[in-house]
């Protein structure tokens, strides 16, 4: 639940509620279509550049760091899918496929968290680098042991410092761990 809450805070900070994204980009990842399981949570959010620019204008007075990040974002997609016996296997296969495809396409895995125990989550965060000082895309994949998956794709010209600052401000632990290094730029 805390992962979902933190993911929701991140999405809220980036703006909510727009039509599906269709523009191809290096940082865009197609998660496919998930079928909701009966009686389980299902959330699909697609936010385009227009709404993100509007949110940046609103945020600029009180949250200048968030506004700066929003100005460079072109698209945000979030899927939260509750799992039961009807969709668990296909969702797990899809997550494994997405992670393998990102690796194959040259995305760098920058965070891996595999918590132990029955309540432990499995988190992988990938980035698509654009030179040494920015990235074209960020993908967060979360498998919660309690029965849901969370997928986030942020597309745009994103500075690593901006993500770390936003993660710090929103207390999103995996994003807080993104630090700039002299070697890779992230």
| 92 domain residue, yes or no | yes
Taking a C-beta distance cutoff of 8 angstroms, is the pair 73, 14 a contact? Answer: yes
| 100 domain residue, yes or no | yes
Quick one: tokens of 25? 């980009």
| 8 domain residue, yes or no | yes
Strands 73-82 and 148-158: antiparallel
Point out the least confidently predicted range of 81-85, 112-116, 180-184. Answer: 180-184
| 68 domain residue, yes or no | yes
**C-alpha to C-alpha distance for 129 and 70, rounded to whole angstroms:** 18
| 182 domain residue, yes or no | no
| 157 domain residue, yes or no | yes
101 lies in which domain range?
2-176
Classified as helix, coil or strand, 90 is helix
How many structural domains comprise the chain?
1
Express each pLDDT in 125-157 by its tens digit: 999 987 777 889 999 999 998 889 999 999 998
Quick one: tokens of 144? 């919660």
Express each pLDDT in 37-71 by its tens digit: 899 999 999 999 999 999 999 999 998 878 888 88
Taking a C-beta distance cutoff of 8 angstroms, is the pair 10, 77 a contact? Answer: no
Which residue matches tokens 């990102």? 102
Give the number of residues written for the chain. Answer: 186
| 98 domain residue, yes or no | yes
């Amino acid at each position: 639940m805390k992962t979902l809450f933190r993911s929701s805070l991140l999405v809220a900070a980036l703006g909510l509620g727009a039509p599906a994204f269709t523009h191809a980009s290096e940082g865009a990842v197609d998660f496919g279509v998930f079928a909701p399981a009966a009686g389980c949570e299902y959330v699909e959010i697609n936010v385009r550049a227009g709404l993100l620019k509007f949110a940046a204008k609103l945020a600029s007075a009180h949250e200048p760091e968030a506004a700066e990040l929003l100005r460079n974002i072109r698209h945000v997609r979030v899927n939260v899918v509750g799992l039961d016996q009807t969709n668990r296997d296909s969702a797990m296969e899809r997550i494994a496929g997405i992670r393998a495809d990102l690796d194959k396409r040259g995305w760098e895995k920058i965070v891996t968290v595999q918590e132990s125990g029955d309540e432990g989550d499995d988190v992988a965060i990938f980035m698509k680098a654009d030179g040494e000082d920015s990235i074209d895309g960020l993908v967060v994949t979360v498998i919660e042991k309690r029965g849901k998956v969370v997928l986030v794709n942020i597309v745009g010209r994103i500075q690593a410092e901006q993500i770390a600052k936003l993660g710090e401000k929103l207390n999103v632990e995996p994003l807080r761990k993104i630090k700039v290094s002299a070697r890779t730029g992230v």
